[in-house]
Structure 1
Amino acid sequence: MIKFLIPINFAPYTINAVNYCRALVNRVKGEITLLYCYTKVVGENSEARVNKINSREDALAELQKLKKHILDSLPEKDNISVNMRVIDGYPEDVIVKFSEEYRPDLIVMGTKSKGETIKELLGSVTFDVIKKVSFPVMAVPNDYKLNIDKLTNILFINDFENCEYTSLHKLVRLVGAFDTKIHNVQHCPHGKDKIDPKLMKEYTEYMHSTYRNQNMICDYICDDDLIVSTQEYIDAHNIDLMAITRRKRNIISQILQPSRTKKILFNAEIPTLFFHQ
C-alpha cells in the first residue's frame, strides 16, 4: 500500500493536486491523508480568509466534503482509504513535522502557475518542504490535468556516476501499475566528449536485470542550460512526469550557485517528482 500525503489549503492549485493524486490511486492500492494547517493569524487577503476557513471546525467540514468527493469518484473504493488531519501551525513547519510521524511514500503538493512574483517564489511552501523533508515530493502545477491513460513517458534526470538506484526503485514502485517508459537521462553540461560510456553501460545492465518488466532507456542531454535542454527533451519525447534526485550541498555552494531544485520547480510545466539523497 502506498501512503500519500496531500497538504491542502482549498486554493485551486491544492485542489488540483488532490485531483492528480485521486487519478493515481485509481491504479494503486493506497491511503490518502489530507492535511490542513490551521493558524489563527490570517490576513484579509489570505487564502484561509478567501475560502472562509475561520476555525478548525470549518477546516474539518471542508475536508469532509473533499473526502466524499474523492471516494465518490473512485470506481474501486476498496483500494483506497482517506484520512483527515487539521494541525495548528504554519504549513512549512507542520508538513515537515507531520511527515516524520506519518512517513508517507509520497507528498503531493500543488504549485502556482509560472510567472509569480519573486516574493511569492522565495516564499514557496512547496520549495521549503522539498528542502526539509526526507520523503519524495511531487509538485503538481496549477494548470496541469492528468490523463490517466497518458502517463506513458517519465523523464528521470539521473546521474549514472552516483548510481541513483534508491530513487529509481522508489520511482518504479510508484508508477509500476502504469504502462510507462522511464527515460533515465543524465545532464552533461560540458558536452559529449566528457561522457564516460562505461557508466551508462553499467547502469543500463543493472536497470534491465533488476526491472525486467519495466520499459526503460538511458540517454544524455548535452547542453549547458539545464532548463532549456530539459524542456526540449520533454517536448521531443512527450514527457508526462519528470523526476529528479535532490542532493544537499554545502553552504558555500548554495550561496554561489542557484539551486537546481528551485530552477526546475519554478519552470516546470508538468508534474515534477523530487527524491532525496
Structure 2
Amino acid sequence: MYIRFLIPINFEPYTLNAINYSSLLAEKFQGEITLLHVFTPYFDENEETDDNHKRLSTIEDTYNELENIKDQTIKDFNNPNITIKTKVIEGYPEDAIPLFCTDYSPDLIVMGTKSKGETIKELLGSVTLDIIRNVNFPVLAVPTDYDLNLNKLNNILFLTDFCKGEYTSLHKLVRLTMSFNTVIHNVQYHPEGKEKADVNLLNEYLEYCATTYRNQKMEAEFIYGDDVLQAATEYIKNTDIDLLAITRKKRNVISKLLHPSITKTMLFNIDIPMLFFHQ
C-alpha cells in the first residue's frame, strides 16, 4: 500500500520531529514523504527565531536547507521503500498549505507541535490549528517531546459516536495503522450515564467492525462522567493509549474537544499524538 505524507516544515525542532514520526510510519508501507516549506518574506532579515536560528532570507537558501534535511533523512532511514521529495512555495502557511493539499491530496498531513507551557497559539501553533480546520485530509499533530517509539503503537483511542457517519474515518484509521499489531478502542462519551447509553447502537457498530475488519483487533465501549475531557484523559491513562483519533464534525459532543481552550487542556494532560479526521 502506498501512502503519501505531507510534512510542513519551518526548520524549528518541533516541526522536524514530524519527519522522524512520518519516516517510521512510511517504513510500514511504500511511502512518499513531501517536505513542504512555505516561504514568507520578512522585512527584517536579521530577525531570529525562538531557538536563535536565523530565518532563511531567500527561496534559494530555503530550498538548499530543505534539501539538506532530505539528504539527512534518507541517510538516517536508508529505506528504499521511502521516496522523499521537497517543495518550496511562497505565501502564508495558513493559506498556502491548504491550497497545496488540494493538488497533492495527501493521505496524511503530519504537523509537529510545541511543548507544554506555551499559550494556545504557541502550543499547537496557529498554523496547525488553521490546517486542522481548513483541510479535508487527515492531520496528525505530534508533540515535540513525544517519546517516539512506533514499535509501541499498541493502543489507539478513536473517540466516536458509533454512527454510520464515522465509518469513513474508521476506515482511514485502519488503513493507516493496519501494519501495526494494535488495538483500536472505539469509545463513545455519554454524558447522561450508563443507563442512558444506547447498547444497540454499540452492538451494531461492533458487528460492522467484526465483519469489515476481520484481521483488526477492535473494542467498543462507553465512557461516562461530568466532563468529556476528564473521562477521555482517564481512559487514555488507564488504557495506555498511544494515539488519539477524533473526527471533526459539527454539532456533536466530540467536536467540543476541538475548541482551542479545551484542546489546550487536553494537551496539558496527555502527551500523545492526536489524529484529526474530517467529515
TM-score (norm 1): 0.91
1:245 — aligned with what? Answer: 247
Cα separation, 1, equivalents of 2:129 and 2:56:
24
Q: Which amino acid aligns with 1:272?
A: M
- The percentage of counterpart residues that share the same residue type is 52
Bigger mean CA offset, 188-197 vs 46-55: 46-55
1:66 — aligned with what? Answer: 69
* 8 A Cα contact 2:36 2:86, kept in partner: yes
Cα separation, 2, equivalents of 1:167 and 1:108:
17
1:131 — aligned with what? Answer: 133
Specify whether residues 123 and 173 from structure 1 end up closer, same or farther in structure 2 by C-alpha distance, changes over 3 A only: closer
* 8 A Cα contact 1:114 1:266, kept in partner: no
Q: Which amino acid aligns with 1:275?
A: F
Q: Write the deviation string for residues 67-91 of structure 1: whole angstroms up to 9, x where unpaired.
A: 11221122432x1111111000111
User: What's the offset of the Cα at 1:141?
Assistant: 0.8
Which secondary structure does the structure 2 equivalent of 1:231 belong to?
A: helix
Cα separation, 2, equivalents of 1:145 and 1:123:
20
Which of residues 57, 61, 68 is equivalent to 2:60?
A: 57
1:218 — aligned with what? Answer: 220
Cα separation, 2, equivalents of 1:47 and 1:98:
27
1:264 — aligned with what? Answer: 263
1:182 aligns with 2:184: yes
Cα separation, 2, equivalents of 1:266 and 1:92:
23
Kindly tell me the number of residue pairs found equivalent between the two proteins.
269
Q: Which amino acid aligns with 2:223?
A: I
Q: Which amino acid aligns with 1:267?
A: M
Q: Which amino acid aligns with 1:22?
A: S
Bigger mean CA offset, 23-32 vs 210-219: 23-32
User: What's the offset of the Cα at 1:228?
Assistant: 1.6
2:17 — aligned with what? Answer: 16
Which secondary structure does the structure 1 equivalent of 2:60 belong to?
A: helix
Q: Which amino acid aligns with 1:231?
A: T
1:236 aligns with 2:238: yes
* 8 A Cα contact 1:11 1:51, kept in partner: no
TM-score (norm 2): 0.90
RMSD, matched Cα: 2.1
User: What's the offset of the Cα at 1:41?
Assistant: 2.2
2:8 — aligned with what? Answer: 7
Where in structure 1 are there 5+ consecutive unaligned residues? none
Which secondary structure does the structure 2 equivalent of 1:164 belong to?
A: helix
1:192 aligns with 2:194: yes
* 8 A Cα contact 1:155 1:184, kept in partner: yes
User: What's the offset of the Cα at 1:163?
Assistant: 4.0
Where in structure 2 are there 5+ consecutive unaligned residues? none
Specify whether residues 274 and 266 from structure 1 end up closer, same or farther in structure 2 by C-alpha distance, changes over 3 A only: farther
Q: Write the deviation string for residues 2-59 of structure 1: whole angstroms up to 9, x where unpaired.
A: 0000000010100111111111112111100000010112552446983441111111
Bigger mean CA offset, 166-175 vs 61-70: 61-70
* 8 A Cα contact 2:229 2:266, kept in partner: yes
Bigger mean CA offset, 260-269 vs 195-204: 260-269
Cα separation, 1, equivalents of 2:54 and 2:64:
12
Q: Which amino acid aligns with 1:31?
A: E
Cα separation, 1, equivalents of 2:68 and 2:40:
21
